[in-house]
Amino acid sequence: MSSLTLIWVIALVLIGGALTWMSALIVARFVKEARASDRADDRKIIIQSLSGLLRGHTDMAMALLPFVRRPEVLAEAILDFQGLIRGADQERAMSALRELGLVEALEQRTIHGSRDERLTSVEALAALGGEAVKSALRRAMGSKDPNVRMAAIKGLADAGAPPTPSRLLDYVGTGELAPSRVYAEVMRQAVAAAPSEGLLALQRQDLHPLMRAILLDALGRSGSYEAVPALAAAAGDLDPEVRTAAVRGLGRLQHPAAAGPLAAALVDPTWTVRSAGAEAVGAAGLARLAPQVATLLNDPEWWVRFRAGDALRRLGKPGLGHLEAVAADDSRPVAQRAAERALAEGG
Amino acid sequence: MPDLQILALAVVRFAETIAWAVIATGLAQNVLYLYQLILAARALSQAPPVNQAALLWRRYAEAAPPITLMAPAYNEALTIVESVRSLLALQYPHFEVVVVNDGSKDETLQVLIDAFELHPVERHYDLAAACQPIRGLYAAANQPRLLVVDKVNGGKADALNAAINLSRSPIVCSMDADSLLEVDALLRAVAPFVEDPERTVAVGGTIRIANGCKISFGRVVEVGVPKNMLARLQTIEYLRAFLMARLAWSRISALTIISGAFGLFRRQAVLDVGGYSHGTVGEDMELVVKLHKHYRRLGKPYRIAFTPEPVCWTEAPETMAVLSRQRARWHRGALETFFRHRDMILNPRYGRIGVVGFGHILVVDVLGPIIEIFGYVLIPAFWLLGVLDIEYLWALLAVTFGFGIVISVGALALEETELRRFPNARSLAVLMGAAILENFGYRQINNFWRLRGTWQFLTGAQGWGKMTRKGFSSQA
């Protein structure tokens, strides 16, 4: 074959291939349109049946039975429907679905479905609730897919049965999960369910500063005063991210014993810690720290000045007194402007 | 006589060199496109889009960080109220809308004040990013998510800087005031910030053409194919640019642009690089390049991601005059950024962004249009002079067109396989036709417009040119 012929063959193969590809896509679309129409009809039947169940028509459960063999369709419909109802209504509908044997069918999908189906099935399982679901979700925690694993853990946390904080830390340590914001949310649920376990986990020596910060944030949100000494100790950590998380946590817990570490945070060399310190003093209502917070109105960092002004406003009369005094003092224009703006924003 | 022979031989050699350079550039571009197509297909198959809004909410709502939507407005009195209402109705747990009236000469500010019952307010802000003086801030108790900033005119980059200064959210979203956002756009685009909060500094979203779609109250309620041929060709072009090129480059950490029509940024990261730059029409690309440079120099791990799902719809020009001005301006913007950061070109210090990202701009944007236009003029001339073999030229031209069609169809195939937003098989067939047609004339004229952008860049032309929009109310 001459080189000229070869070039023409390549050109014709490319053009022919593109045209065939296009035709195949159009034909596939016709088929998919028909399937999508069937699927939409199925979803309509499912939603109508679930609505019937809510109105007390228990016989409607029978209409759902054929779909148990196609759990992926049911899973999508459940996730749509579950968002629309709450409380006893939700439980009644989900209980009917559990009785149909949907938990087992969905669990099969969490193992054998496509990646998308596995994920949707785990999320639908979590929506179904109940004890059998918890077991299924625990099994799904062993999935190779990190997204499926995270969905299963989140489902368990939402169902009030999160893994222990230490176990959650292990997942990141072994690279099975990433420290995402969803992960941080689950850690909060895990620590809230067992604050002492969170404190125990904090003693681990293998913790990366980021993981310590996530754990401290969770302890701060747990509402447990048990965490105050640990948070106070962490407020003096070498890592600024850890100190910031600890200081914020102390602010959330609003315990008077936090005054010492928070006073130290207000003079921290890192601005994020000073800013968190001011915020925490305002949140905890520690009026005796108002003079120290007022000095931060002259901080070189805008966020610190802003948080200080906000905190003084939140401290009520003592804080407002400082703000008014600084606003009237034109010898420090930066602090004066920060105080004026804080007062103006407060109305 | 021997002298004449040598001269003739030299002319033939020169003609052949030109022809081969044109062919090599064309093939290099097509190989790059093919590589992008493969990368994008892998990205889409490994992380397929989430179709159900309820599922998105379930996955991300609890962990979603607060976002400030920054909407710069200049002389938008006719459409601004509907645009802002549509933004306020977005589905996202924590967000605020900062509308910046950039010294409009019409009634933009007054219509906002009247429509939302705004009154002057005070807000503590830092002038961290350079911007023109702020004249006033307006808000209303019944619209706690809305803040209107009135400032002296300074252009889009300046208005965005003002909004960043006023924002108190960790994430800011840049957009055009006339962009139409999907109701769950923020929830979709925020996913990388939720999944990888430590590294993610910016996320770009896919922009789609709204021409031909049914639009109601600032939302695309029914996707359609544009009736106007020029808009139809741009539909394919946008699919190729967003669904293929940007997704592919983001996958290998070489994305150099996030469209100004929609992009999420970590606020502190933007401030760390000094905010948006003034004096360029390509401020969106410039910001992304600055972010790359900053993090590469610091040696800190970072991620600039891209979401393939359509999050934002925009009106495409339907006349050659407006489209040519837009394309010349875009090209000028790309060249301004390229040469402003010329130290990054093929510089291994900047990793893939220097080699792949800037290498791609060099081949496709800087050299591509010049060589291609050069070829269109010189090759027929050489053929007329009888110094080039026409049979080979036709064959190679056929290969180039074949590649072009494969790439366009491939981009459409990605859309059809993973997103399937076009309503029916008929619309698909119409777009397939456009995917073929764009290779015969449209791509070539586009190169001519880009060459005009190069000329404007070289001569230091300023300004945006007149961008006439039909408006969304008349569509569908």
Q: Is the pLDDT of residue B465 over 70?
A: no
- Give the chain A residue whose CA is nearest to the CA of B121: A345
Residues of A in contact with B395 (CB under 8 A): 4, 7-8, 11
Nearest to B164 by CA among B263, B85, B98, B80: B98
B114 C-beta neighbours (distance < 10 Å), count: 11
Beta-carbon separation of A182 and B52 below 8 A: no
Q: How far is B3 from chain A (nearest CA, A)?
A: 32
pLDDT digits (tens, 9 = 90+) for B51-67: 777 778 888 888 899 99
Q: How far is B468 from chain A (nearest CA, A)?
A: 34
Edge-first strand order for the sheet with B262-266 is B119-121, B134-140, B143-151, B95-102, B67-73, B171-175, B262-266, B200-209, B303-314, B180-181
CA B404 to chain centre: 21
pLDDT digits (tens, 9 = 90+) for B159-191: 999 999 999 999 999 998 778 899 999 999 999
CA B291, B295, B299: angle at the middle one, nearest 5?
170
Measured between alpha carbons, how far is residue A95 from residues A59, A98, A128, A130, B410 in Å?
A: 14, 5, 7, 8, 46
Per-residue pLDDT of chain A (347 residues; tens, 9 = 90+): 788 899 999 999 999 999 999 899 999 998 888 888 888 888 888 888 888 887 777 777 788 888 877 877 888 888 877 777 777 777 877 888 888 888 888 888 888 878 788 888 898 888 888 888 899 999 998 888 888 899 999 999 988 899 999 999 999 988 888 899 999 999 999 999 999 999 999 999 888 999 999 999 999 999 999 999 999 999 999 999 999 999 999 999 999 999 999 999 999 999 999 999 999 999 999 999 999 999 999 999 999 999 999 999 999 999 999 999 999 999 999 999 999 999 988 76
Residues present in chain B in total: 476
Q: Is the pLDDT of residue B473 over 60?
A: no
> DSSP class of residue A338?
H
Rounded to the nearest integer, the mean pLDDT of chain B is 89
Q: Is the pLDDT of residue B476 over 70?
A: no
Q: Is the pLDDT of residue B467 over 50?
A: no
Beta-carbon separation of B399 and A11 below 8 A: yes
Report the residue from B126, B391, B413 with minimal CB separation from A4. B391
- Structure confidence at residue B2 (pLDDT): 66
Q: Is the pLDDT of residue B264 over 90?
A: yes
Whether the CA torsion A16, A17, A21, A22 is positive or negative: it is: negative
- Give the chain A residue whose CA is nearest to the CA of B165: A302
- Give the chain A residue whose CA is nearest to the CA of B65: A181
Q: How far is A24 from chain B (nearest CA, A)?
A: 10
Beta-carbon separation of B123 and A25 below 8 A: no
Q: Is the pLDDT of residue B468 over 70?
A: no
CA B197, B200, B202: angle at the middle one, nearest 5?
135
What is the C-alpha end-to-end distance of chain A, expressed in Å?
Answer: 86
* Core vs surface per residue B139-167: b (16+ CB within 10 A) or e: bbeebebbbbbbbeebbbbbbbbbbbbbb
HSE-CB of A25 using CA atoms within 13 angstroms: 27
Q: Is the pLDDT of residue B9 over 90?
A: no
Residues of B in contact with A11 (CB under 8 A): 395, 398-399, 401-402
CB-CB contact of B44 with B417 (8 Å): yes
Q: What is the mean pLDDT of residues B254-272?
A: 94
Report the residue from A79, A120, A341 with minimal CB separation from B124. A341
Q: How far is B467 from chain A (nearest CA, A)?
A: 35
Report the residue from B395, B428, B436 with minimal CB separation from A7. B395
Report yes or no: B416 at the A interface, CB cutoff 8 Å. Answer: yes
Residue with tokens 């001519």: B448
Report yes or no: B55 at the A interface, CB cutoff 8 Å. Answer: yes
> DSSP class of residue B299?
T
Q: Is the pLDDT of residue B1 over 60?
A: no
Rounded to an integer, what distance in angstroms lies between the CA atom of residue B395 and that of residue B402? Answer: 10
- Give the chain B residue whose CA is nearest to the CA of A33: B424
Rounded to an integer, what distance in angstroms lies between the CA atom of residue B278 and that of residue A226? Answer: 53
- Structure confidence at residue B475 (pLDDT): 46
What is the enclosing helix (H) or strand (E) of A333?
Answer: helix A333-345
Beta-carbon separation of A302 and B128 below 8 A: yes
Whether the CA torsion B304, B302, B58, B91 is positive or negative: it is: negative
Residues of A in contact with B147 (CB under 8 A): none
What tokens does B459 get? 């001569």
Rounded to an integer, what distance in angstroms lies between the CA atom of residue B186 and that of residue B66? Answer: 10
Q: Is the pLDDT of residue B265 over 90?
A: yes
Rounded to an integer, what distance in angstroms lies between the CA atom of residue B53 and that of residue A80? Answer: 9
Report the residue from B391, B428, B436 with minimal CB separation from A26. B428
Residues of B in contact with A153 (CB under 8 A): none
- Structure confidence at residue B470 (pLDDT): 54
Residues of A in contact with B435 (CB under 8 A): 22
Report the residue from A32, A123, A342 with minimal CB separation from B55. A123
Rounded to an integer, what distance in angstroms lies between the CA atom of residue A340 and that of residue A337? Answer: 5
Beta-carbon separation of B197 and A181 below 8 A: yes
Interface contacts A/B by beta carbons within 8 Å: 123
Judging by DSSP bridges, how do beta strands B143-151 and B219-222 pair with one another?
unpaired
Rounded to an integer, what distance in angstroms lies between the CA atom of residue B446 and that of residue B457? Answer: 16
Beta-ladder partners of B314: B209
Residues of B in contact with A345 (CB under 8 A): 121-124
Selected residues 291-310 of chain B with any CB under 8 Å from a CB in chain A: none
The residue among B37, B51, B55 with the most chain A CBs within 10 A of its CB, best to mutate, is: B55
Report the residue from B54, B62, B410 with minimal CB separation from A79. B54
pLDDT digits (tens, 9 = 90+) for B351-399: 899 998 998 888 888 888 888 887 778 777 777 877 777 788 788 888 8
Report yes or no: B62 at the A interface, CB cutoff 8 Å. Answer: yes
Beta-carbon separation of A344 and B424 below 8 A: no
Selected residues 102-121 of chain B with any CB under 8 Å from a CB in chain A: 121
Q: What is the mean pLDDT of residues B2-31?
A: 79
CB-CB contact of A7 with B399 (8 Å): yes
- Give the chain A residue whose CA is nearest to the CA of B407: A18
Selected residues 364-393 of chain B with any CB under 8 Å from a CB in chain A: 391-392
Residues of A in contact with B60 (CB under 8 A): 182
Beta-carbon separation of B398 and A29 below 8 A: no
B231 C-beta neighbours (distance < 10 Å), count: 20
Judging by DSSP bridges, how do beta strands B200-209 and B303-314 pair with one another?
parallel
Residues of B in contact with A4 (CB under 8 A): 391-392, 395
Q: Is the pLDDT of residue B464 over 80?
A: no
CB-CB contact of B160 with B70 (8 Å): yes
Q: How far is B291 from chain A (nearest CA, A)?
A: 21
What tokens does A307 get? 């948080």
Choice between B6 and B68, residue whose per-residue pLDDT is larger = B68
Q: How far is A234 from chain B (nearest CA, A)?
A: 21
Residues of A in contact with B195 (CB under 8 A): 178, 180-182
B119 C-beta neighbours (distance < 10 Å), count: 10
Residue with tokens 């022809």: B19
Report yes or no: B93 at the A interface, CB cutoff 8 Å. Answer: no
- Give the chain B residue whose CA is nearest to the CA of A29: B425
Choice between B258 and B15, residue whose per-residue pLDDT is larger = B258
- Structure confidence at residue A183 (pLDDT): 93
Beta-carbon separation of B399 and A14 below 8 A: yes
Beta-carbon separation of A25 and B432 below 8 A: yes
Q: What are residue B274's phi and psi, to 5 degrees? A: 85, 15
